[in-house]
Structure 1
Amino acid sequence: MPAAPEGRRTHEKVSTVSAVSSRLPVFPWDKLEPYKKTAAAHPDGIVDLSVGTPVDPVPELIRRALVDAADSPGYPTVWGTAALRDAVTGWCERRLGARGLAHTNVLPVVGSKELVAWLPTQLGLGPGDKVAYPRLAYPTYEVGARLAGAEPLVYDDPTELDPAGLRLLWLNSPSNPTGRVLGKDELTRIVAWAREHGVLVFSDECYLELGWEAEPVSVLREDVCGGSYEGVVAVHSLSKRSNLAGYRAAFVAGDQDVLGELLRIRKHGGMMTPAPVQAATVAALGDDAHVREQRERYARRRDALRTALVGHGFRIEHSEASLYLWATRDEPCWDTVGHLADLGVLVAPGDFYGAAGERFVRVAFTATDERVEAAVKRLG
């Protein structure tokens, strides 16, 4: 065998894949691992209040619907069944105050995180385009912009932004992480401004069913959008309200032109909600009793944790809705994370959600009653 040319390895690897991941920030939850180990070493075990993942059972009527649809050998459609679209439009009218929604105004999606992450790409955004989101926000808004090569842009009040190049504006009410709720007048003002400047509004409303000290309002409500869905889309998820995070069940509703374009793209991309999950979604949206029952569980846990945190020297800000308490001891957030980890309690540092959160922690009340009780005792 002839020798390889001088200076060249015989098995040199040549990469033809661009490192898209280099555009992205470090995955924040990896930074929490050492604190998780500390908390897990507590004699009574860890109380994990960091990730807002449901822990309560999936309601029986939803599981039954999933099982009944399990014999689904054929491909589902991207647009979903007519029964699913009926369920979504009916729920939006009943729960959100949306009026006159047609099937063309709704689209099922495979999880709301997946929608947020890939939306800018599917909208054709790229270099030179801007995607705006709240200064304190769910990290995936930034990730979605960076995946598309667009410029991420934070705001305190979106109407103070320069609209030049601004293609997508994310609203998030109730907020993750702060639990802040945007009122009707504020939403109306923002929608009017966005329409005036031709900016598409996507409103992440995944925590809308979980208002505690304020009643969350949808951007689709008639007195917010003026009875027209032009330029506005709402994002909803069944993960929190129905304990369906494992099902990846979500949908968007609003501007039919925008959703029609997404439907055409997603048909090519194969982004189909599995048929059994579609059937489970129909059951979930048609039943309000399980939502009330779950709200009552969360309300009890929220009250217990809030009282314990305040008694331990924390101050709670906002937190009038959602599944979290936005708490501070007026110290760097990682100091607070370390202090609580020593007590066997794991929380999320506020800087996961932006530099403005560097002195806060986000405390989820999605743990079981037994684990919440353990946290309360440790904070006492």
Structure 2
Amino acid sequence: MVSNRYNPGQPGLAELQPYPFERLRTLLADVEPPSDQPSVPLSIGEPKHPVPALIADALHAGVAESLGRYPATAGQPALREAIAAWLGERFRLGDTGVDPERHILPAAGTREALFAVTQALLDPASRPDVLMPNPFYQIYEGAALLAGGRPRMLNTDADSGLPMIEAFSDADWARCGLIYLCSPGNPTGRVIPQGFWERLFRLQDRHGFVIAADECYSELYRDETRAPLGLLQACAADGRDRFEGCLVFHSLSKRSNVPGLRSGFIAGDARLIEAFRAYRTYQGCALPLHVQRASQAAWSDETHVFENREAYREKFRRARSILADVAPYRDPEAGFYIWLPVPGGDDETFTRALYARTGITVLPGRYLSRPTANGDPGAGHVRMALVADTAVCEDAMHRIRQFIEQPK
């Protein structure tokens, strides 16, 4: 007789919802796209621009040495120094500075780090709530559930594009152990301004929660004269020169077109970094030395990043010229997504019909959000990732326009 005493997994696993792309596969499983034109996946944000040669060269050069050595969780000093220099220059931290020994921890991309931070820093017994914007990156929700916490959704305001932190009471904030924010936002591309951060700092001063800022899209901005504000920069402007209770998460995946490198970092409050480092020492996710070498080369160069922005800027310019008059949308300040309100308002129906008629795959907005008492801010939108070559994206925009203008 087989015993049922040993049930695999912790309770949080049973609460996890299917990932957005699993839901999309189910939605489109019985739909046949047209055979006379190529399919175009705009549903997933995987960069398709060329990998910069300087990163590939550094990676290859370091492999032989790397394979015979265990890497340290804290990373090589040279990598941390390159990251510290980049942070100080990019976010104009001036005299505040970032100490590469105390304020920085390399990570295997932002996904790994954003998940692990809640496992390391949340105390579900005393402050179980993990706040997050709605729509959101589903890793935030899964991290909260698997840490024994409770996800709480902050609906994004339709006008400002910002999470409505004023909707929560002091009692709500008192139960908050950590809040995730994404700036520039996924999927909206909205950059959080200084005033918003300062309102959040005042709440943090009263209630003592951790702020985790996902900034993986920070280098894909439209206006070369207005680089997006970052959380550490907002801290410095508010006189919080020790970044108390604040962590930022950055990645090379989008900035440098190397999603397969799995490289990023966490930076901020030295006390939190120390605790997080202890957790990750046991987790065992140190970056291989050749990955660190390639990462150091990437963080030390801005030419390829500027060229990357230029390519995205041109794609967004063309998309607006093709779509804006038939499907108006708000231009994203950064990132590579268009957050498109769909004609008719039903994002799932639009997604199925678009794929059947044109072979173009987009992601229903409701797959990136959760329904709340105040509505579902993702429903009625689709997310489109302009990650393919310019010509491919332009062709896709023309097909979408024709689809909208000539509904069947």
Could you state the TM-score of these two structures normalised by the residue count of structure 2?
Answer: 0.86
Q: Could you tell me how far 1:185 is from its partner in structure 2?
A: 2.0
| 246-255 vs 269-278, greater mean Cα deviation | 269-278
For the pair 1:132 / 2:131, whether they are aligned, the reply is: yes
Structure 1 residues 293 and 39: alpha-carbon distance in aligned structure 2, compared to 1, 3 A threshold: farther
For the pair 1:187 / 2:197, whether they are aligned, the reply is: yes
Q: Could you tell me how far 1:314 is from its partner in structure 2?
A: 1.2
Structure 1 residues 39 and 347: alpha-carbon distance in aligned structure 2, compared to 1, 3 A threshold: farther
In structure 1, what is the Cα distance between the partners aligned to 2:110 and 2:340? 26
1:333-370, Cα deviation, whole Å (9 max, x unpaired): 11221232121111111112213110001111101223
Question: Which residue of the partner structure matches residue 74 of structure 1?
Answer: 69
Question: Which residue of the partner structure matches residue 395 of structure 2?
Answer: 374
1:36-92, Cα deviation, whole Å (9 max, x unpaired): 774754422111111010112210001011011111110011100000010110000
Q: Could you tell me how far 1:198 is from its partner in structure 2?
A: 0.8
Of residues 230, 233, 252, the one that matches 1:238 is 252
Question: Which residue of the partner structure matches residue 6 of structure 1?
Answer: none
Task: Check conservation: 1:39, 1:343, Cα contact below 8 A.
Answer: no
Question: Which residue of the partner structure matches residue 91 of structure 1?
Answer: 86
Question: Which residue of the partner structure matches residue 145 of structure 1?
Answer: 144
Question: Which residue of the partner structure matches residue 113 of structure 1?
Answer: 111
Question: Which residue of the partner structure matches residue 351 of structure 1?
Answer: 366
Q: Could you tell me how far 1:318 is from its partner in structure 2?
A: 5.2
For the pair 1:167 / 2:167, whether they are aligned, the reply is: no
1:109-132, Cα deviation, whole Å (9 max, x unpaired): 111111122221122433551100
Of residues 358, 364, 377, the one that matches 2:385 is 364
Residue type of the alignment partner of 2:37: D
Q: Per the alignment, in what secondary structure is the counterpart of residue 363 of structure 1?
A: strand
Question: Which residue of the partner structure matches residue 406 of structure 2?
Answer: none
Q: Could you tell me how far 1:195 is from its partner in structure 2?
A: 2.5
In structure 1, what is the Cα distance between the partners aligned to 2:394 and 2:338? 16
In structure 2, what is the Cα distance between the partners aligned to 1:68 and 1:358? 48
Task: Check conservation: 1:237, 1:250, Cα contact below 8 A.
Answer: yes
Question: Which residue of the partner structure matches residue 215 of structure 2?
Answer: 205
Residue type of the alignment partner of 1:55: K
- 1:165-314 aligned within 5 A: 165-212=175-222, 215-221=227-233, 222-224=236-238, 226-311=240-325, 313-314=326-327
In structure 1, what is the Cα distance between the partners aligned to 2:80 and 2:341? 43
1:264-315, Cα deviation, whole Å (9 max, x unpaired): 111122110111111111000100000011111111112222332224x212
In structure 1, what is the Cα distance between the partners aligned to 2:78 and 2:212? 25
The answer for unaligned runs of 5 or more in structure 1 is: 1-8
Could you state the TM-score of these two structures normalised by the residue count of structure 1?
Answer: 0.92
In structure 2, what is the Cα distance between the partners aligned to 1:68 and 1:245? 19
1:153-188, Cα deviation, whole Å (9 max, x unpaired): 112332542212211011211100111111122222
In structure 1, what is the Cα distance between the partners aligned to 2:255 and 2:317? 18
In structure 2, what is the Cα distance between the partners aligned to 1:257 and 1:243? 32
Q: Per the alignment, in what secondary structure is the counterpart of residue 357 of structure 1?
A: coil
Indicate the RMSD between aligned Cα atoms, in angstroms.
Answer: 2.0
